[in-house]
């Protein structure tokens, strides 16, 4: 099946005696054993639940993976993933990441004995230079949040395999509809399902996807132990959201390209960061490893006053943290997603009082541009 058909029909419903088109919500914490030493396939919802299982199989198929695990949030997924590693292990990570990932690595994982080299993973030489005997994994976010840097996933995987390292890719921005890192050689794909997979800003979720049975077994053991699984109703909301993933991603990308080209022409805009613009330094790599460019745009304005004016005067576009929903949202990374980064580190990345991030929704692009234009006045 093609990707857009998979979004609707992936993972045929197995637990559906009524033949309902919508997967039933199995709102049960526990399940009855038919007899001693027997199981109906489900024992306790922390281990597995039919609704969550259907969602996990759907996401695994979309990512061309063997197994997917659904979590209560994206950060829950990343936190559990770190339990693969032991004190003393070293991880190479992209230096431009979602602020929550920085916070976890810098304040929790480091406390637990892991060490990190935060580098520009688009520079393959830097990756090679930072590999040491304790290195266990390379963690890549591409495109990055919020500076839209792009890493060549296949090239990183080739380096990793020569050193027996895991490659972990945060695929939140492009989703499996536009980018499939496992097919490029990655070992683990991470998603904040709250964003595009859910698509409606109405629930939180996270995913890990793998295509190796041994790695799946290790993660499943940790998963049932720490208990950060996604609830049945939230699993159903994600299933419902994924059904429209294809048409949402296409429309959002179409809108984003129009808005990015409009932003480039505005005198108060100093720089536009969108991987779908041919002048983006990684445009060719993006075109090779992904089938689309997504709908995330960051841009810098001429001064802090302009940034505040935009945030306070937009009307259709909403000033809110998060991304990937049907509504267009504008975020102030300095004060929201990346507020916990030390100022010097944040500004070195370009995350300052003049940087804004736009998650483009499915509204009419002309209305969104008119809203921006009015807010500039």
The residues annotated with a catalytic role in the active site are 46, 98, 170, 195
> Can you say whether the dihedral through the CA atoms of 216, 222, 228, 232 is positive or negative?
positive
Q: What are 168's strand-pairing partners? A: 139, 188
Q: Which of 74, 51, 4 is nearest to 324 (CA)?
A: 74
Whole-angstrom distance, CA of residue 354 vs CA of residue 334? 9
**Would you list the DSSP string of 26-87?**
---SB---SSTT--SS-SBTTT--HHHHHHHHHHHHHTT-SEEEEESSHHHHHHHHGGGS-T
Cis peptide before 230 (omega within 30 of 0): no
Residue with tokens 């030493």: 37
Secondary-structure breakdown of the chain: helix, strand, coil percentages, each rounded to the nearest 5: 40, 15, 45
Q: How crowded is the C-beta side of 235, counted as CA atoms within 13 Å?
A: 26
């Amino acid at each position: 099946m093609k990707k857009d058909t998979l979004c609707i029909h992936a993972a045929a419903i197995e637990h559906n005696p009524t033949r309902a088109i919508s997967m039933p919500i199995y709102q049960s914490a526990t399940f009855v054993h038919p007899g001693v030493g027997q199981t109906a396939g489900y024992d306790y919802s922390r281990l597995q639940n039919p609704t969550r299982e259907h969602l996990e199989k759907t996401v695994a198929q979309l990512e061309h993976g063997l197994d997917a695990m659904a979590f209560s949030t994206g950060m829950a997924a990343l936190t559990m993933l770190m339990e693969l590693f032991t004190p003393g292990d070293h991880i190479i990570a992209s230096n431009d990441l979602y602020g929550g990932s920085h916070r976890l690595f810098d304040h929790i994982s480091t406390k637990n004995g892991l060490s990190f080299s935060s580098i520009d993973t688009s520079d393959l030489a830097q990756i090679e230079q930072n590999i040491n005997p304790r290195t266990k994994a390379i963690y890549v976010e591409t495109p990055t949040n919020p500076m839209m840097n792009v890493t060549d996933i296949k090239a990183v995987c080739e380096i990793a395999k020569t050193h027996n390292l895991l490659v972990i890719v945060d695929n939140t921005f492009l989703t499996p509809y536009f980018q499939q890192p496992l097919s490029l050689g990655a070992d683990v794909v991470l998603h904040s399902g709250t964003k595009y997979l859910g698509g409606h800003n109405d629930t939180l979720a996270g995913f890990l996807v793998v295509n190796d049975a041994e790695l799946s077994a290790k993660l499943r053991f940790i998963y049932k132990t720490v208990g950060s699984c996604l609830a049945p109703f939230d699993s159903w909301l994600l299933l419902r959201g994924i059904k429209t993933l294809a048409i949402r991603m296409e429309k959002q990308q179409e809108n984003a390209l129009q808005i990015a080209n409009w932003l480039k022409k505005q005198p108060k805009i100093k720089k536009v960061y969108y991987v779908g613009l041919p002048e983006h330094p990684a445009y060719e790599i993006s075109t090779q490893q992904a089938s689309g460019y997504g709908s995330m745009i960051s841009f810098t304005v001429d001064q802090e006053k302009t940034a505040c004016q935009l945030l306070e005067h937009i009307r259709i576009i909403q000033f809110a943290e998060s991304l990937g929903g049907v509504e267009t949202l504008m975020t102030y990374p300095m004060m929201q997603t990346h507020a916990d980064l030390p100022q010097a580190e944040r500004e070195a990345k370009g995350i300052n009082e003049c940087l804004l991030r736009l998650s483009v929704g499915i509204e009419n692009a002309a209305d969104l541009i008119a809203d921006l234009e009015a807010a500039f006045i």
